[in-house]
Amino acid sequence: MSGDLASRHSYDETPHTSRSEMVESAEGGAVQIVEKQVQRRIFKIIVIGDSNVGKTCLTYRFCLGKFPDKTEATIGVDFREKAVHVDGEHLKLQLWDTAGQERFRKSMVQHYYRNVHAVVFVYDMTKMSSFENMPQWIEECDRHNLNKSIPRILVGNKCDAVDRVAVNTNLAQKFADSHNMPLFETSAKDDEKANHVDAIFMTVAHKLKNSKPMMPPHLADFVPGEVPRNVEYISLRGSPHHRGLQTAARGQCGEKSDCGC
């Protein structure tokens, strides 16, 4: 069985190039394929967290540029995609938006954990329980063979609901620190934060672009020196939303080595 495992699922983690370019239309979220001879690296990012924390809205905001007017419970796994430009290179980010209900993640989602290049953990800032469940999600992630060296970030969503905030930033920061992840507090809903949401995913994109060793997570025995550090914010400097990010990310990177940043 394990031979089967090795051959069929060869953990081809290296970002592959695509022959055709996907263009996503904002209207229906329908995906159209436009044949264009482009070579671009594709990175797969999985977005996880409790039900109702706003995973669907966040990925929608990033990929389709707006807050969806009617969201629905995600059943199984949804796929959204966005082409991005990072330091002169065209990349493609595939966002895998997962169902939050526990029953789905136990058995169904594992297929989608495979070949993942980065993980975005999301909790709802107005809901303590969604934050308290984070360790479970992280453990789940570890259990699916994801090496700790792949970029992970923690996102507190719904920061627009100022008067309902239940998860203290310091607390979240401590937690993020202890897991060597940067923390971002943001809002998928607030139009003024749209740039911020973009910047968060772009941060991941930068990290992915620059972290050279795209090794299979289960094979890549992490060597601290190999992963470039502190590279991800550089090209965000000077952009309008840069400050928020900087503040949010302050103190995460550089101390511990296995955060991949």
Partner 1 sequence: MSDEEPSSDFDQEHSEGAGDQPENARISLQEQEYSPKVNGRLQRQHRVFYQRKAKKIEQILSKDPVDIAELRQQSISRGGLLTDDLRRRAWPILLNVNVKNITPKPEAAVLQGHRDYRQVVLDVERSLRRFPPGMEEQHRLSLQDSLVDVIMRVLVKHPELYYYQGFHDICVTFLLVVDEDMAFALVEKLSLGHLRDYMEATMERTTQVLNYLQPLLKKANPELYDYLEGAELGNIFCLSWIITWFGHVLNDIKSILRIYDFFIACHALMPIYLTAAVVLYREKEIFETEQEMPFLHALLSKVPDNLPFEQLLSNAGDLYILYPPVELANEALKRFRRAQAQAAARKQLALQKNAQRKSILPDGNVTFAKVTWWMLGAVASVAVYALYSSMDWDWSSWISHGS
Q: What residues line the site for Mg ion (CB under 5 A)?
A: 55-56, 74
Residue 219 beta carbon to partner 1: minimum distance, rounded to whole angstroms: 10
52 touches ligand GDP by CB under 6 A: yes
Choose the binding region for partner 1 from 75-83, 160-168, 177-185, 249-257 (rule: CB under 8 A).
75-83
107 φ, ψ (degrees, to nearest 5): -115, -30
Is 89 within 8 Å of 209 (Cβ atoms)? yes
Calculated CA dihedral for residues 61, 69, 108, 138, nearest 10 degrees: 50
In the region spanning residues 110 to 139, those forming contacts with partner 1, defined by CB under 8 A, are 110-112, 139
Q: Which two tokens stand for residue 130?
A: 């969604």
Q: How far apart are CA 240 and CA 219, in angstroms?
A: 39
Binding mask 86-105 for ligand GDP (x = CB under 6 A): --------------x-----
Q: Look up tokens 């007017």; give the residue.
A: 69
70: number of Cβ within 10 Å = 4
The answer to the question of residue 133 lying near ligand GDP (CB under 6 A) is no
Please give the size of the binding site for ligand GDP, defined by CB under 6 A: 17
Alpha-carbon dihedral sign for residues 8, 75, 125, 244:
positive
Look up residue 8 and give its amino acid. Answer: R
Beta carbon of residue 171, minimum distance to ligand GDP (angstroms, whole number) = 19
Partner that binds at residue 19, options ligand GDP, partner 1, Mg ion, none, CB closer than 5 to 8 Å by kind: partner 1
Residues 137-166 binding partner 1 (CB under 8 A) are 139, 142-145, 147
Q: How far is CA 242 from CA 39, 107, 169, in A?
A: 29, 39, 19
Residues 183-212 that bind ligand GDP (CB under 6 A): 187-189
Angle of CA points 220, 225, 230, to nearest 5°:
105
C-beta separation of 63 from 202 below 8 A: no
Binding site for partner 1 (CB under 8 A): 1-2, 4-5, 8-9, 16, 18-20, 22, 30-31, 33, 42, 44, 51-52, 70-79, 81, 94, 99, 101, 103-104, 106-112, 139, 142-145, 147, 218
Binding site for ligand GDP (CB under 6 A): 51-57, 71, 74, 100, 157-158, 160-161, 187-189
